[in-house]
Amino acid sequence: MATPTKHALCSASSSERWMHCTAAPRFEENFPATTSDYAEEGRTAHAICELYAKYAFGGITKRSLNSSLKKLREDRFFSEEMIQTADVYVQYLKEKAMTFEHPPYIQQEVRVDLSSYIPDGFGTCDCIMIGDDTLHITDYKHGKGVIVSAENNSQMRLYALGAIQQYSMLFSVKNVSMAIVQPRIAETVSEETITVDELLTWGEKAKALAYKAYTGLGEFKAGDWCLFCRGKAQCKARAEKYTALEDFKDFALPKNTIEDKAVPGVLTNADVGDLLTRGAGLKKWYEELQEYALSAILNGENIPGWKAVAGRSNRVFADADKALELLKAAGYDDKTLYTHTAKSLSVLEKTIGVKKFQEILGKQIVKPVGAPTLVVASDKREPYNPAKADFAEVVS
Ligand code: SF4
């Protein structure tokens, strides 16, 4: 969804967090809200998706599309890739609309009131379709850091609750389907369908948690959902989770006696797997703590036992143009002074545009298998295959 400029204390987009850690919204008020270039980039990409979707379903004329697009092209976050990803988004919407027996009611960028579930809550559905007893909402995500699934997705479910309420006088809906289109990272669109009754039951649970979170009666609970919490580096609950070393305690229990080991005193592979799982969050938390400490010290604060120093650096010319001039004056030619290299594949693709790039270079692109990386077994990628790694795959 397009990031709203005003934020509710318990927003739908942060619901995964406050539904697990009901203390988070009030706790986060102690830390300044920040925005990033990624968020701004997402806003521009959403605006382009909205334009194309409106045009595809007759909401605006070609002329209006072109003039709005002209303005967006001047946006500093605009990239040609956004036109391509908007195309993927619109194609999905068109295909989805075709699955309805009768042409559905379609609306883009629908602001929904969520205050029946979240105090002061609201959200914006990128696209809503209603027909054949079904409400379908689609959310476009421009980020390519983490694949977001529509399954059991609290943000999508809250939007769906708001949309059902908003359209209840006009449509009778029995099923709700929700989809996330994330073309820069996910190859397929993630979808979930549930009945309205199931959704309403879930909504009651969400409402109770939102009330707790909003009124300041919440409880801290650290977990994966801490990732985007504004106070994650300074959160005591999160620190306790890792410093108590609870996760490591049973490791010293008798079950891990030498009889269990292939070689006495040596960790088994099962132990290693177990320890890696237990320590993953600890490593992440420690890195974030370091990041916080560095910025605090640079802001003049004191972190006992730590200080900031200048990191390693490489020599550079104080004035590169002047240096080259001096070398030329000393008799060195361009061949000695310059290298001529092509721009990278991704820079060229961004400049030329995905479609044109594919047309010209589709058969020239190969994708070597990446270096082996350790991930958790539940990761959706295929296991590393050394035989396959010897051959680069042609990407079509
Ligand atoms: S860091 Fe985690 S535990 Fe702490 S307030 Fe945020 S979500 Fe809750």
pLDDT, tens digit, for every residue of 6-40? 567 899 999 999 999 999 999 999 888 877 788 88
- C-beta of 222 in contact with ligand 1 (< 6 A): yes
Instruction: State mean pLDDT over 288-310.
Output: 91
Residue identifier of the C-alpha nearest atom 3 of ligand 1: 222
- C-beta of 21 in contact with ligand 1 (< 6 A): yes
Q: Measured between alpha carbons, how far is 51 from 46 in angstroms, rounded to an integer?
A: 9
Q: Measured between alpha carbons, how far is 380 from 190 in angstroms, rounded to an integer?
A: 13
Q: Distance from the CA of 226 to the center of ligand 1, in angstroms?
A: 5
Q: Measured between alpha carbons, how far is 394 from 276 in angstroms, rounded to an integer?
A: 35
2 touches 47 (CB < 8 A)? yes
Q: Distance from the CA of 21 to the center of ligand 1, in angstroms?
A: 6
127 touches 93 (CB < 8 A)? yes
Q: Residue 233: what pLDDT?
A: 87
Mean pLDDT of the chain: 87
Judge residue 213's burial from the number of C-beta atoms within 10 Å of its C-beta, 0-12 exposed, 13-18 middle, 19 or more buried: buried
pLDDT, tens only, 340-378 = 888 889 888 888 887 888 889 888 888 788 888 888 887
Q: Quote the pTM value.
A: 0.73
- pLDDT class of 195 with cuts at 50, 70, 90: very high
> Which range, of 23-27, 55-59, 182-186, 269-273, averages the lowest pLDDT?
269-273
Q: Distance from the CA of 219 to the center of ligand 1, in angstroms?
A: 9
Q: Distance from the CA of 5 to the center of ligand 1, in angstroms?
A: 23
Share of the chain above pLDDT 70, in %: 90
How distant, in Å, are the alpha carbons of 77, 204, 291 from that of 70? 13, 45, 40
Q: Measured between alpha carbons, how far is 133 from 47 in angstroms, rounded to an integer?
A: 29
Q: Residue 6: what pLDDT?
A: 52
- Pocket probe for ligand 1: among 21, 29, 243, the residue whose CB has the most ligand atoms within 8 Å is 21
Q: Distance from the CA of 285 to the center of ligand 1, in angstroms?
A: 11
Q: Residue 254: what pLDDT?
A: 43
**Identity of the highest mean pLDDT range in 137-141, 144-148, 287-291:** 137-141
